[in-house]
Amino acid sequence: MKLAAVIHSDSDILGGTPVFVSTRVPGQSLFDHLEAGDSIDDFLEGFPSVRRDQVIAVFVVTAYLTDKPKAGDDLWPIK
């Protein structure tokens, strides 16, 4: 999975701010809400155009990018 499948940037949408695909919801807003103490359900209720699988995918991709496995690590789920 690539981040571009979940978050994208287009200069015609919010001036190029990265947003969830098929929405105008900035990706950063997810982290802002979580940092403020909101749950994923709270976030999804406030932004019904964002799907739960998109939120989960952001976490998976972020985990991959921040904790990249060593070559040959068969335990990592992203290939």
Alpha-carbon gap, residue 15 to 41, rounded angstroms: 27
pLDDT score of 78 more than 60: no
User: Fold for domain 3-66?
Assistant: Arc Repressor Mutant, subunit A (1.10.10)
Question: Rounded to the nearest 5 degrees, what angle is found at the Cα of 39, between the Cα atoms of 4 and 7?
Answer: 10
Chain position carrying tokens 């990706």: 27
- Lookup: tokens for 51: 């799907």
Which is nearest to 33 in space by CA: 53, 25, 13? Answer: 25
Q: What is the pLDDT of residues 13-61, one digit of tens each?
A: 999 999 999 999 999 999 999 999 999 999 999 999 999 999 999 998 8
